[in-house]
Amino acid sequence: MIRLIDLTKMYRGFVAVDGINLDVPRGRLFGFLGPNGAGKTTTIRMMAGILKPTRGRIELDGIDLAERPSEAKGRVGFIPDRPFIYEKLTGMEFLRFMGGLYRVDHGVSPDDRALELLELFELTDWRNELIESYSHGMKQRLVMCSALLPAPRILVVDEPMVGLDPKGARLVKDIFRDQAASGTTVFMSTHSLEVAQEVCEEIAIIQSGRIIARGTPEQLGEQAGVDGTLEEVFLRLTREKEDS
């Protein structure tokens, strides 16, 4: 479903992402972890088509992103770490606008699809209010609504829990689980090791632009020789890499 092949990004000689190879199957809730500056967001922005790789390929749902960008991007819903929204629109107006961009057509009207998602993310009562009156967490949930409008086969998410209160975080985690259970591949970058341990079926750890470990939380613990939390496993693996 997602294939990264020798994926590399360089900035004036600095290697931000260094020859990543990664396969993520359909319906997997996949976590992407790493220290600050490890290359997580750069990788995700390349997957979303925002950045162009220096070298390598990205295949999304079997489609090469460089060769057929419009078709590949049409399979992906992207949720950035910060919500950038037209704040002079209402929530419903914003989703209508996004539905027009995506050309949403799933046998239901775009308005019905938008209302369904507003209900799912508990924003129905705010649908006719200007977005400038929304809290940060509400804006983040509205962006998630827009990413799910076209019923994407792949959901790429960068730090989804930033700004969410505990209730909102629980809601979003449940929605991601449901999306994966229905066959959507969820690729999630997060700094929250607790969230990753709770919801991700499989995890890759990136450090200095390279994948240093991959597996279930239990398998990562075995690789690290640690019988503890994902935080302890993560610290052991990244420390060993720094010391090597």
| pLDDT tens, residue by residue, 6-25 | 999 999 889 999 999 999 99
Q: What is the pLDDT of residues 17-75, one digit of tens each?
A: 999 999 999 999 999 999 989 999 999 999 999 999 999 999 999 999 999 999 999 89
- Predicted TM-score (pTM) of this structure: 0.91
Are 101 and 150 spatial neighbours (Cβ–Cβ below 8 Å)?
Answer: no
Q: What contacts 115, CB < 8 A, 6 or more positions away?
A: 92, 124, 127
3-state SS string for 109-126: CHHHHHHHHHHHCCCHHH
Is the predicted pLDDT of residue 205 greater than 90, yes or no? yes
Q: Which pLDDT score is estimated for 81?
A: 83
200 φψ region: left (φ > 0), alpha (ψ -120 to 50), beta (else): beta
What's the average model confidence in pLDDT over 85-112? 82
Amino acid at 83: P
**Sign (positive/negative) of CA torsion 114, 182, 3, 11?**
positive
Q: Which pLDDT score is estimated for 106?
A: 54
Q: Which pLDDT score is estimated for 29?
A: 97
**Position 108 confidence tier, pLDDT thresholds 50, 70, 90:** low
Closest C-alpha to 203, from 66, 60, 30, 80: 30
Q: Which pLDDT score is estimated for 234?
A: 93
Is the predicted pLDDT of residue 91 greater than 80, yes or no? yes
- Cα distances from 83 to residues 104, 131, 185, in angstroms, run 21, 11, 21
**Position 111 confidence tier, pLDDT thresholds 50, 70, 90:** confident
Is the predicted pLDDT of residue 187 greater than 60, yes or no? yes
Put the strands of the sheet holding 55-60 in their side by side order: 14-24, 2-11, 55-60, 63-64
Radius of gyration of the chain (CA): 18
> Which stretch of DSSP H or E encloses residue 231?
helix 230-243
What's the average model confidence in pLDDT over 106-119? 83
Q: Which pLDDT score is estimated for 100?
A: 81
Compute, in degrees rounded to 10, the torsion defined by CA atoms 68, 74, 78, 84: 100
Calculate ∠ Cα 27-46-21, nearest 5°.
65
Are 148 and 117 spatial neighbours (Cβ–Cβ below 8 Å)?
Answer: yes
DSSP codes, 146-177: HHHTT--SEEEEESTTTT--HHHHHHHHHHHH
Q: Which pLDDT score is estimated for 32?
A: 96
